[in-house]
Amino acid sequence: MSDHPHAAVIHSADAPPDAHANHRRDYFRIFWALGILTIIEIWFATLKIDRRAVAALLVGAAVTKAALVGLYYMHLKYEKRSLLWLAAVPFPLAGLYAAFLMLDAHNIIRAITLPWK
């Protein structure tokens, strides 16, 4: 069985009509949230503040949007925890991997370009 009480509802074709109405309402809420976050992102990109702060704001907004799509539209919120972990664990690891590689970007670029120098 799933960990979430709604899981049985979302996967059942025999779910009561009000459960479907609730899901439809959630779908529209997430749609508006994604639209508003996109507008906020574009506003963040125009801010004349430190670029690192802008980058942090943009990455935060993008991760929030991606999480909303994953949790509500891809129904991870209603799946068993094991499936949620299966999907969620690689992403922070990839982020860490990217961060470490980018910190060393100058050395990597030099190593790549050396044979042609």
Per CB under 8 A, residues contacting another protein are 1-3, 7-8, 11-13, 15, 20, 23-24, 27-28, 31, 34-35, 38, 41-42, 44-45, 54-55, 58-59, 61-62, 65-66, 69-70, 73-75, 79-80, 82-83, 86-87, 90-91, 94, 97-98, 101-102, 105-106, 108-109
Closest distance of CB 117 from another protein, Å = 15
Q: Which is nearer to another protein, 74 or 115 (CB)?
A: 74
- Convert 93-113 into a string of H (helix), E (strand) and C (coil): HHHHHHHHHHHCHHHHHHHHH
Burial class of residue 78 in the structure, from the number of CB atoms within 10 Å of its CB (0-12 exposed, 13-18 middle, 19+ buried)? buried
Closest distance of CB 46 from another protein, Å = 8
Element (H, E) at 81: helix 81-88
Check if the beta carbon of residue 6 is closer than 8 Å to that of residue 20: no
Closest distance of CB 31 from another protein, Å = 4
